[in-house]
Structure 1
Amino acid sequence: MQDEYQIDKSRMRQSFHRAAKQYDAAAILQRQVREEMLSRLDVVKLDPEVILDAGCGTGHGLSALLKHFKQAQGIALDIAEGMLVRSRTLFPRYKFWQASPRFVCADIESLPLATASVDMVWSNLAMQWCNDLDAALQEFRRVLRPNGLLMFATLGPDTLRELRAASGAGHTHVSRFIDMHDIGDALTRAGFSAPVLDVMHYTLTYESVESVMRDLKAIGAHNATVGRAKGLSGKGFLQQLRQGYETFRHDGKLPATYEVVFVHAWTGSQPYTAPGTSPVQFMPRKDSQR
């Protein structure tokens, strides 16, 4: 039986491609989370040569990282070509960059990058669009070099709780988000060491349900689950949504809650080995005594 919360990657790609031009104006949460992630780099001892921004969006995260790590080279990777087109406008050949970033259109769950080719993987609010968290983390572990850093932020299960409650039962109206403890378990399975995870809650406020939906559409965050309603939502559903959401109004505003899980973990000193395999050690032969 098909999982109704599985992401339709084709629909997701099209949504983000179309949203690229107006994305920055509506990406309030993404900016706030990016600044929080950048502030956490102050306590990280790392001098990366190559940084991968996985799910780079319009490129502001990678731009900030390359200004922070001035000798690093960057890889901007996104599933939507429109996002990469916007990203390119941020990267003229400034003197503090060794080279312009490489731009790669690909899925996080299947990275077209060589094993042990990057020193740092960064991802700001993209991991929630993965169908297989284990596959994505295995790919990150594969492309990272020994003593490499994985740093990402993703959405937890408390995200958009008001919209979920107001939309009621039936079709999937909000994506399913993964609990912090399950993310920690997946990091361990993927071979990461010393994972650190914590949660912060952000609340954006709106005048109406329509403005909530407008912002989600502007950043490309359409409902891309296979269990979504395939036809147009009728007036009855919209009226139900308005009435249900009104129960959350506070101080004249409608809240939209986001649970953000912040993660960083290291690869350790050992080189990558594929799941189900182990390195073979050859010991020098000792001459037998006679």
Structure 2
Amino acid sequence: MKDVAVFDRRRIRRRFGRAADEYADRARLQAEVAGRLLERLDGLRFEPTTVVDLGCGPGLQARALTERFGKAQVLAMDLALPMLVRARRQAGWRGRRFARVAGDAHALPLARSSVDLIYSNLMLQWSDDLPAVLNGLRRVLKPGGLLLISTFGPDTLSELRQAWAAVDDAEHVSRFTDVQTVGDCLVRAGFSEPVLDTDWITTTYSQPRGLLDELRAIGATDAMRRPGAGLTTPARLRGMLAAYETHRRPDGLVPATWEVVYASAWAPDPGTPIRSIHGGEEASVPIEAIGRRRRDPESSR
């Protein structure tokens, strides 16, 4: 995905680490989306034994997954260590089944075919290499395992993007991946039966600064690498805030739009190839299957 900017992952780790103490109280949108994502498990005849909450934050959803799947081993994973410290407090008396691991979605510290369910709420938008991340998720899922994710679509923070565009030509808001691209990446990674849908959610504020304060409090400020980019001056910030006022609604509030993309998909049978980002294919077969497969001369190549 060459058209997507490169994120500074150390900056992401620091910002979310600093936001760990306030995150649970301030991340109202993230909590709403998490609830909608969990609802997609309703009605499924699916009892995982190993569950990963990837990008777990302070552990609220890891706790919910532990309560939903009482017999499963739940693993809360996050890039920021302070988030994992907060997640420990969420574990409560169920902490023996609520493990915590520091890990990066781009280099998962998990064994191949070791996980039944990967749940990831509003984390993938911080990746600039979605195909590689999805290949990695496919690698660690067991055949028949479920991937359940949410991420932001391109309409997200459109008002903020427009307000900044009225001030300068710099890119102040991260770019987000559209639902079609997410679906294409799932298919290329070899996932089966992908189901995708999109919500548009609006949060409101009395002043545009309220949105900026909320983003800063949860660590969700811009983290793209831009060589040569300078600091935002007070004058430009004032200009942006003034431009944002053009979006004020008749009820006196200013809106922020969030396009949320939800996706679920299943890991396919053993041996189904993963299409790498370099154009090749990687197939895997369980060790125990070697030696038991009957050779069919007509199907050999």
Normalised by the size of structure 1, how large is the TM-score? 0.91
The answer (yes or no) to whether the contact 1:141–1:192 under 8 Å persists in 2 is yes
- 1:204 equivalent to 2:209? Answer no
The answer (yes or no) to whether the contact 2:4–2:128 under 8 Å persists in 1 is no
The answer (yes or no) to whether the contact 1:92–1:100 under 8 Å persists in 2 is no
What's the offset of the Cα at 1:93?
3.1
What's the offset of the Cα at 1:178?
0.1
1:45-84 to structure 2, matched below 5 A, reads 45-84=45-84
Which whole-Å CA distance do the structure 2 matches of 1:279 and 1:127 have between them? 25
What's the offset of the Cα at 1:271?
5.1
Residue identity matched to 2:294: M
Question: What SS does structure 2 have at the residue aligned with 1:150?
Answer: strand
Matched residue, 2:120: 123
Q: 1:134 aligns with which of 123, 131, 136?
A: 131
Matched residue, 1:237: 236
Which whole-Å CA distance do the structure 1 matches of 2:115 and 2:61 have between them? 17
Matched residue, 2:278: none
Which whole-Å CA distance do the structure 2 matches of 1:15 and 1:191 have between them? 33
Which whole-Å CA distance do the structure 2 matches of 1:3 and 1:80 have between them? 27
The answer (yes or no) to whether the contact 1:78–1:84 under 8 Å persists in 2 is yes
CA RMSD of superposed structures (Å): 2.1
List runs of 5+ in structure 1 lacking aligned partners. none
Q: Deviations over 1:158-197 (max 9, x none)?
A: 0000000000142221101000000000000111000000
Residue identity matched to 1:182: T
Matched residue, 1:93: 93
Which whole-Å CA distance do the structure 1 matches of 2:141 and 2:272 have between them? 8
1:95-114 to structure 2, matched below 5 A, reads 99-114=96-111
What's the offset of the Cα at 1:92?
2.6
Q: 2:294 aligns with which of 277, 283, 287?
A: 283
* Residues 93 and 273 of structure 1: CA distance in aligned 2, closer, same or farther (over 3 Å): farther
Which whole-Å CA distance do the structure 2 matches of 1:285 and 1:227 have between them? 55
* Residues 188 and 231 of structure 1: CA distance in aligned 2, closer, same or farther (over 3 Å): same
* Residues 277 and 242 of structure 1: CA distance in aligned 2, closer, same or farther (over 3 Å): closer
Q: Deviations over 1:30-67 (max 9, x none)?
A: 11011111222112221000000110011111110110
The answer (yes or no) to whether the contact 1:4–1:225 under 8 Å persists in 2 is no
The answer (yes or no) to whether the contact 1:175–1:223 under 8 Å persists in 2 is yes
- 1:32 equivalent to 2:29? Answer no
Identity across aligned pairs (percent)?
41
Structure 1 stretches of 4+ moved >4 Å: 271-275, 279-282
Which whole-Å CA distance do the structure 2 matches of 1:143 and 1:39 have between them? 23
Residue identity matched to 2:182: I
What's the offset of the Cα at 1:268?
2.6
The answer (yes or no) to whether the contact 2:55–2:120 under 8 Å persists in 1 is yes
What's the offset of the Cα at 1:244?
1.0
What's the offset of the Cα at 1:273?
5.0
* Residues 199 and 229 of structure 1: CA distance in aligned 2, closer, same or farther (over 3 Å): farther
Which whole-Å CA distance do the structure 1 matches of 2:296 and 2:55 have between them? 49
Which whole-Å CA distance do the structure 2 matches of 1:107 and 1:76 have between them? 12
The answer (yes or no) to whether the contact 2:19–2:219 under 8 Å persists in 1 is yes
* Residues 170 and 284 of structure 1: CA distance in aligned 2, closer, same or farther (over 3 Å): closer
Paired residue total:
282
What's the offset of the Cα at 1:285?
8.7
List runs of 5+ in structure 2 lacking aligned partners. 276-280
